[in-house]
Amino acid sequence: MIFESFPVGPLACNCTILGDEESREAIVIDPGDDVSRIAKRLTEQGLKLKQILVTHGHIDHVGGALKLKRLTGAPIYLNENDLPLVKMMDAQAAWLGVRPPETAPPDESLADGQVVGLEHYPAQVLHTPGHTQGSICLHFAPLKLLIAGDTLFAGSIGRTDLPGGNFDQIMASLRTRVLTLPDETRVLPGHGPLTTIGEEREFNPFLQGEAGVR
Ligand SMILES: [Zn+2]
């Protein structure tokens, strides 16, 4: 397995490249920015991009998706509930004081329960609304890995004060969809360091008393 994760853009969104060493197929998750760096790594590794998976419609996660699609031909996947956010990219860019990237509606939605990813590295889509209405996590069960987007961070959770955010909803998503995963599951959040479900269950101040349905 080829696995690379590195921060992109001014908000340091964790962008992930996952590739299959045998088939040379790859997916990219959250190409928020720095598309030339992402494309360069794909080329250097001899990888053919199959899917561009976006955890939610915020500019720092989706901003480079169309550019990467144009370079590689790979389709963009995003949960349809975040289409309103993609359509307000100019406003999102204004919040950050950056130039709005060109965007387009996704080619495919990411629906709850859908299986995406590579043949040898499949991921199940968990719809986890709250940070945004279309926020999803990607659960690579065989890898014991959760790509959490901005739903869960090491020691924190996603903000819910932006359009489409809802605190009760993110707590319900965490309780019913995220904390139900095994403790040893590694969590790669949308920003900041890796953690595990067990560590967050025990120490995350937002999750105290949220044991989850096991
Ligand atoms: Zn976000």
CA pseudo-torsion sign 190, 145, 207, 131: positive
CA of 61 to the centre of ligand 1 (A): 7
The helix (H) or strand (E) run that includes residue 115 is strand 115-117
150 alpha carbon to ligand 1 midpoint, in Å?
Answer: 5
pLDDT of 78 higher than 90? yes
Measure 52 CA to ligand 1 centroid, in angstroms. Answer: 17
Residue 213 pLDDT level (bands cut at 50, 70, 90): very low
Q: What is the pLDDT of residue 214?
A: 44
In this model, does residue 7 exceed pLDDT 80?
A: yes
Crossing angle between the packed helical segments 65-72 and 35-44, to the nearest 10 degrees: 40
Give the chain's mean pLDDT: 96
What integer pLDDT is reported at residue 199 of this predicted model?
97
Q: How far is the CA of 19 from the centre of ligand 1 (A)?
A: 25
Q: What is the pLDDT of residues 97-134, one digit of tens each?
A: 999 999 989 999 999 999 999 999 999 999 999 999 99
- Report CA(100)–ligand 1 centroid distance (Å): 16
91 phi-psi bin (left φ>0, alpha ψ -120 to 50, beta other): alpha
Q: What angle do CA 135, 209, 169 make, to 5 degrees?
A: 25
pTM, two decimal places: 0.96
